[in-house]
Structure 1
Amino acid sequence: MKPLAILASVMVLAVAAPLAHGAIPADPRGGETIQFNVYRGNSSFGTHEVRFSRSGEELTAEISVRLRAGVGPLTVFRYEHDSVERWRGGQLVTLEGETLKDGDRFPVAAARNGSGIVSEGVLPEGERHTEELPRDIIPSSHWRGYEEDLRRILNTEHGDAMEVTITDMGMEQIEADGGTIQARRIRLEGTLTVDLWYDENGFWAGCEFEARGQRIRYVRQANPAA
């Protein structure tokens, strides 16, 4: 897995399985948005947004990531990710997305069938693939949190299954929403180690990891439930 796979990759109803000890899953309402400013070191690196809408029992999350690093007007790194997830009854129904990374495009499409989730995507080497994943697999979009006993998640960048280890690190204060808040820290370990934070309502509140020798940090701009 490439360093930015988890990033982009980062809608479950309250009846979903419990998350890491003491945490609750977010139950977004239509019109709510999670918006982060992203920093590379102390420099602005871009934005990451998750927008929620509802239609009857269906919950939709639209995800948009825009990252750029440059020297003056020269762009040396560009990353864009757009995806749409549709959920019903606490389970993923469909996922469609595309990632643009350093000029290469990686489309992904996943949909529930009778026995599981059929996912199609393009691996980093350019090979197209199709695989059937468990019906209850969770995408790597981060917004809904992760169970501690989780061992695989759906890579929203390439459409394959990623092996992971989830650890609950407990409560702590983080920078968010124009000040500081209490949030639960979850560590997701794969090829890359990512720390994720979730607030008292279960909403994704922060993110931090290292990639290419740089510290990447997400700062949430406002409480979606406010």
Structure 2
Amino acid sequence: MSAQRVAEHKVVSEPSGVNSPLRTRFDSISMAPPDAGTDANLENEEVLVEFFNVDVYPVPKLLLCKRNVGESAEVTEANYFYLALNINVQTQRILGVFQLKDRRMIVVICDHTKQQTEIYVEFASALASTIGQKCPKFCLGNMFDLVGLNFVQNILAVYSHVCSELVLLAFREESVEIINSACISISGLTSEVKRIMFIHGSSELCLVTKNGLRTFNLAMQL
């Protein structure tokens, strides 16, 4: 699947305030052609229960639950199964796995060989083959370390320890096409960022460090 590279770095307006660092538009994105759509029956699609990374298993795995139409409403052990994501654990690292409301999975993979971060969007039934064929929905022309997802506002956030940059990607819910982006240079943190968190019911994002946290109002950034 071919993708067109956009390599453009435009400076946009910089908001004022102590929590409003330099912000640019992040346009180093390669996007796959738009999907033709799907008529998948949500009742037949797997539900993500848990993600286990290489610190638990030699190969990253998803724990999924599936109950087909017509089956008993009672969930039993037979409804649960594991799905292995066969990446090259020597050169690739899964940053995070999320599930959208339509039950498609978002898998974010950092590829050290290609020096890029790949975002896969697929139903669980086709996820392993899509990753194996290396057909990401889009790629970011940089390596990142942390990822978070705002399910309400459809915003994906990735953070780089090396560059001290926070990238926000706003996307359409149905097509998962990028409609806006922001690259925020982070300074003044006294310790390494450990986690990205979105505050439920608000427009705020937190970068959590060992010594505290830094908050950002997404309404001012995108």
TM-score in same-fold range (> 0.5): no
Q: TM-score, normalised to structure 1's length?
A: 0.29
Structure that is richer in strand per residue? 1
Greater RCO, 1 or 2 (C-alpha within 8 Å, sep 6+): 1
Highest Rg: 1 or 2? 2
Give TM-score scaled by structure 2 length.
0.30
